[in-house]
Structure 1
Amino acid sequence: MKFSTTCTASWKVLRQSKDNRYKLTSFDLQLFNGEKTEEATPKRRQESRKKGQVAKSNEINSVFVILAAFCTLKFLGDHAYTQLTGFMKTTLSSLATPDFTFQSVQLIYVKAVVVLLKTVLPVLFVIMIIAVMINFMQVGAMFSTEVIMPKFSKLNPISGFQRLFSKRSLVELAKSIFKVCIIGYFIYRFAVLQTGDIPKLINMEIIDSVALAASLVIDLAFQIIAVMMILAIFDYIYQWWEHNQSIKMSKQEVKEEFKQTEGNPQIKSKIKEKQRAIAMRRMMQEIPKADVVVTNPTHLAIALKYEKNMSAPVVLAKGQDFIAERIKQVARENKVVVVENKPLARALYPVVEIGDVVPPELYQAVAEVLAYVYRLKKRLS
């Protein structure tokens, strides 16, 4: 029988029992091989986010940036054309004047910068806004310096070679080839469909030919963007799936994280045990101050105290079974009256906690018990 550490199922073996018959016994191999089969916990996701590891598709960023650029060019094309043609007219006319000097060159340079800013800045501004919005929609507000920190492990040629042929690299290569094929197909299809219109540009006026060429290019761009948008949606789904797979945890990692966040169960159990012991000692120290202990008689015990400045009797101690016996023992040792009253004990126990006052509906029953105790103490004294 071959033992495979990569097996995700349980390993079943034959085990001989006392009656000399063999039985199947299962062993969970995940406990041995540490295979990551568990969904990431919120803490693991938060740690991954701090490291900059999030589900993000660069294809969606690229598509929307290109879309924003072409939409802006389409709406501001006339404005850019007016600015450029006006600049060219003034520049060419100034070159023909006899008083053209070095100061004229400087003025042309300044005008060129102004025209460039007027035509390019709106496009760049829209692209920047869209890029920020798309990134925010994908990953939210996130700032991580760990991504840009230098790591000497990246200089290892063996690790670099492994990353070169990793699954992620192969997927990115496949996407790039697919995009090139799609774009090439649409350019070829566009060229075939426009073979009759492109030669007409030669006989048109410059203004008309530029407008027609720009219109054809923008139409082609929108067709390519529509296909790339579909590809980007599938890429985002893949990135989300791949990210969730990369941060999965093994059962041992989940247990270790639980111990770190919630504390070791054994230690927590010991702490609770000590807390119960301290609470028990404190409760037993209060019993001598009680006026009466109401019992079931064997299963329940409630110690009550009443003074004139109190609005109602107060519960100093309560317990059942072993604790009830201990309460009665301490009460007898300190000469506290123990009264057997089954109905009152059963009614009090579930509705009061240590330090609570007796509820109003039980005032009369408790008053009768206290009256009996006071008469008994007076008779004994």
Structure 2
Amino acid sequence: MPEESRTERATPYRRRKLREEGHVAKSTDLVASLSLLVITVSLYLVGPQLYYSLLSIFYTAPTLSVTEHPTLLRFFVEKVSPYILSLMVLSTLTVILAHLGQFGVVFTLKPLRFRWERLNPVEGIKRLLSLTTLFELFKNTLKIGILLFTVYLFLRTEIYRLMESVLLPLHISILDVMGLTLKLFIILGTLAIIMASLDLLYRRWDYERKIRMTKQEVKEEYKQHEGNPMVKGAIRKRMRQLAKGRMIKEVPKATVVITNPTHVAVALRYDPSGGDRAPVVLAKGVGQIAERIINVAREYGVPIVRKEELARSLYRWAEVGEEIPPRFYRAVAEIIAFILWERRRAYHG
């Protein structure tokens, strides 16, 4: 598909699908840089203690007999191994958190599956000539240049200190050189993180570019997952028809139908013995629906009262199956009271 035709941002479904397959925007450089910096800073802080612990072992080992070697091993486990284990745990946590910070939790084995297209030489050539490969070449060249220039500036500044350390006792000279080395790695790690952050921004931009969709793909996905608009329209129409049918069946239970006179009709029920706290709307409609409500009301002997303004207001503000709003209580109560009075008068003759 030509790149120019992919003008639409990826839909949430496409993003979720790609994520499930392990396709996310990530920078391995950022993970490596963070690991390097964290471990280097940790060694810079605890390096002297670790160094002197190892030094004491080297000085002590030649003087011990074979029977005393377990003591030396116990000393190593107690004094040195905690530093090594701490650095290993810290390195592992750094890698995990660096990945989580970029794309969250994603667990899938799909990227490990064998795919024949990976053996396609044409696709391999395309990858070699792609924008990503050119960016990688430029990035790595620039990174090496910046890091080498930084090393040059650092050595130029610290050269006299390195020369002076040669005159110090050996164990102090080694410690001094180690400190300078770790300091250099901290500077390099910081620069690497800055460059890796730029790499992450590029990765995210490139990821968004690659997952763009055509207008036709968006339409097809909408039809597939949201439903064909024509089908959905037909379903909604059928549901409205069913709802109207159920509504008309409720009209015989009404206490009164208020009309305007044939354009609007609202059927109300008020039955205190049945639990009604206020009149309830059983049905409402305009045009043909209103005519059906009125015809059913006549068929079952439901009183029909013409109140034009009230009928329009009830139709607008009252919902089917709910009580009428309080502002209509008085007007509706007068109508129902009159209907009940008429019924009692007719009953007593």
Deviation track 1:254-295 (CA, whole Å, cap 9, x = no partner) reads 222222332221111111111111122222222233343211
In structure 2, the partner of 1:324 is 290
CA separation of 1:147/1:111 partners in 2, compared to 1, >3 Å: closer, same or farther? farther
Instruction: For 1:284, give the aligned amino acid.
Output: I
Equivalent residues in 2 for 1:336-375, closer than 5 Å: 336-373=302-339
Match of 2:14 among 5, 25, 44: 44
TM-score normalised according to structure 1 size: 0.79
CA separation of 1:110/1:332 partners in 2, compared to 1, >3 Å: closer, same or farther? same
Instruction: Give unmatched runs, 5+ long, in structure 2.
Output: none
RMSD of aligned residue pairs (Cα, Å): 3.1
| Shift, 1:249, TM fit | 1.9
Moved more, 209-218 or 61-70: 209-218
The number of equivalent residue pairs is: 345
Match of 2:115 among 147, 151, 176: 151
Deviation track 1:294-334 (CA, whole Å, cap 9, x = no partner) reads 11113211123344624444332211122212222333344
Equivalent residues in 2 for 1:129-140, closer than 5 Å: 129-140=93-104
Deviation track 1:6-53 (CA, whole Å, cap 9, x = no partner) reads 695xxxxxxxxxxxxxxxxxxxxxxxxxx2211222222222222222
Instruction: Give unmatched runs, 5+ long, in structure 1.
Output: 9-34, 95-99
| Shift, 1:149, TM fit | 2.9
Higher relative contact order, chain-length normalized (CA < 8 Å, sep 6+): 2
Match of 2:51 among 54, 74, 81: 81
Larger proportion of helix: 2
Q: Are 1:160 and 2:124 counterparts?
A: yes
| Shift, 1:105, TM fit | 7.8
Equivalent residues in 2 for 1:293-312, closer than 5 Å: 293-307=257-271, 309=273, 310-312=276-278
Partner Cα distance (1:47, 1:7) in 2: 21
In structure 1, the partner of 2:28 is 58
Partner Cα distance (2:285, 2:207) in 1: 53
CA separation of 1:183/1:324 partners in 2, compared to 1, >3 Å: closer, same or farther? same
Equivalent residues in 2 for 1:202-213, closer than 5 Å: 202-213=166-177
In structure 2, the partner of 1:252 is 216
CA separation of 1:167/1:255 partners in 2, compared to 1, >3 Å: closer, same or farther? same
CA separation of 1:201/1:336 partners in 2, compared to 1, >3 Å: closer, same or farther? closer
Q: Contact (CA 8 Å) 2:50, 2:80: kept in 1 or not?
A: no
Q: Are 1:92 and 2:62 counterparts?
A: yes
Q: Are 1:282 and 2:252 counterparts?
A: no
Partner Cα distance (1:286, 1:182) in 2: 82
